[in-house]
Amino acid sequence: MATCTGPPGEATLPAMYAHEITDTGLRLAILNALLELGRFDDEALRKRLAGIATEEDEEDARIERALERLRDVEIEADALAEIQRIGFDGGNDIYMLIEETIDVDTGGETDHYQLGSLAGIERLTGLHTLSLDGHGYRDADLDLGPLRGHPTLVTFSLSGRCTSVGVLETIGTLGKLDVGYGRVDDEA
């Protein structure tokens, strides 16, 4: 079982499972951040995905099976507070780990990794930077409501159509907002 672990001897909050972050895109971004922090063993994740590459299925089916297997990865809840940056670049380590392990090559540019919801982002209590760059192509609007009152967000880059933009006024720490690739429901 791939688990996220903290420093030895340090008390941790009860573990959660990755599927508690319901949106696949956000879940993968969180797993990527934890990989970057060294809170996941990439070999354990590769073992979890083992065998998928040998199946004769279409690329989409292999990706879907890999994402399903990653839903049950155990995450130490206190590790989420260590995440300071979330991004969705096609070259993220988690995308490359998945694709190398299951023998597909989308370059991290598949709708399977698309961000559809920020629900659960409130668990990232140490998040300073959130960049939605890379997800401007999504068909649906992205509700920014889950960011309401976020305690530490400083830098935020939008892309695509976003709604509930007024919640950004509730983030007292927000110092830089880049709307360059985004469209919002309320220009004021």
Range with lowest mean pLDDT among 5-14, 38-47, 61-70: 5-14
Residues found in the chain: 188
**4 or 43, which is more confident?**
43
* Mean pLDDT of the chain, nearest integer: 87
pLDDT at 11: 44
107-140 pLDDT, tens digit per residue, is 888 889 989 999 999 999 999 999 988 755 677 8
Helices and strands per DSSP (H, E), number in the chain: 5, 7
d(CA 122, CA 150): 7
pLDDT band at 185, cuts 50/70/90? Answer: confident
**90 or 106, which is more confident?**
106
Question: pTM score, two decimals?
Answer: 0.88
pLDDT at 66: 96
Residue 28 tokens, joined: 């993968």
135-184 pLDDT, tens digit per residue, is 556 778 999 999 999 999 999 999 888 999 999 999 999 999 998 767 77
d(CA 110, CA 113): 6
Residue 12 clears pLDDT 90, i.e. is over it: no
CB atoms within 10 A of CB 89: 14
pLDDT at 135: 57
